[in-house]
Amino acid sequence: MIKIAIGIQLRKNNSRLPDKALKTINGKDLIFYMIDNVYKGIEKINKHKHRNNTECSIFILVPDQELEFWKDKLKSYKHKYFAIISGSESDVLSRYDKLVDYDPSYIMRLTGDCPFIPFQLITKTINTMVNKRLDYLSNVDEPTRTMPDGFDVEIMSIEAFNWLSENARKNGTDQDLEHVTTYLRANKQAWMNFGMLFYVYDISDQKYSIDTLEDFELVKKIVLSRFKKEQLARKKGYGIYEY
C-alpha cells in the first residue's frame, strides 16, 4: 500500500493576523474550509484504495502549547484518516518528522493559510507524484510559478524527506527548519527527480492565501460572491458541479 501522509501546519500565534484560521466566512471557520477541501481531494483515492493501492491520511500539525485547543476545536472530525500532532512552534520541520512514524511513502506539505486550495489540485498532485514516481513535486517555485499564492502544495518521497530532515539539521539554518522545504529546494541532489505543477495559464499574480486582514477581506468578498451565484444557479434549477 502506498501511504500518503498529508501534513497541514497550523498555529494560532500568527504575527500579522493572529487566529486567522479561526476567522469565519459565511459562518464557517477558515480551518474547516481547508480540511474539507483536502478531504474532498482524497475522498476518491481512499474510496478506491484497494484498486489504486494508495491511501491518504490527514494530520494537523500544531505547536505543543496549542494541542489541547485544536483537539477541542476539531473534535467533530472523527474520520479514521485524521489525527492531530503537536511539536515545536519554531522548528516546523520537527512536526513533519513525526509523520515518519506512520510509515508513509510520501509526505505532503500544506499550510493553514491556504484554506481555499482547490480539492482537484490535491488529487492531481497525489496522482502525479505516485504515477511519475517523483521525489519532489510542487507549485511554489517563485521564478516558474503559474498558480496563485494560496494554492500552495508540496509533496516529497520519504527518501527525499529523510535526506532533508537529516541535512537541514546538520547544515541548514533556523529559517530552513521553520519553512520546512527551503533546504531541499536549494540543494537538489542528483538522485532526486523534481517536478513542477503548471497551470494552463499564468495566474501567479493572484493571491488567495491569508496573511493580513486585507487578504481576509478580499478572499471573503470572492467566496461570498461565489456563494451568491451558486444560490442563484440552484434557484434556476441548475445542478452544481465543481471543477
Closest CA to 139 of 158, 159, 118: 118
Q: Is residue 229 part of a domain?
A: no
Cβ atoms of 96 and 85 within 8 Å: the answer is no
197: CATH: 3.90.550.10
Per-residue pLDDT, 200: 94
Overall number of domains in the chain: 1
The mean per-residue pLDDT over the stretch 53-64 comes to: 97
Q: Is residue 218 part of a domain?
A: no
Q: Please tell me the distance from the alpha carbon of residue 206 to that of residue 212, in angstroms, as a whole number.
A: 15
The DSSP-derived string for 100-155 is GGG--SEEEEEETT-TT--HHHHHHHHHHHHHHT-SEEES--GGG--SPBT---EE
Percent of the chain scoring above 70 in pLDDT: 100
15 confidence band (pLDDT: 50, 70, 90): confident
Q: Of the given ranges (65-74, 77-86, 96-105, 155-164), which has the lowest mean pLDDT?
A: 77-86
Per-residue pLDDT, 206: 95
Q: Is residue 35 part of a domain?
A: yes
Q: Is residue 213 part of a domain?
A: no
The answer to whether residue 179 scores a pLDDT higher than 90 is yes
* Average pLDDT of the residues of the chain: 95
For residue 176, give its domain range: 2-206
Q: Is residue 223 part of a domain?
A: no
pTM, entire model: 0.94
Q: Is residue 86 part of a domain?
A: yes
Q: Is residue 219 part of a domain?
A: no
Per-residue pLDDT, 105: 98
Give the count of beta carbons closer than 10 Å to the beta carbon of residue 135.
22
Cβ atoms of 139 and 197 within 8 Å: the answer is yes
Per-residue pLDDT, 92: 97
Q: Is residue 124 part of a domain?
A: yes
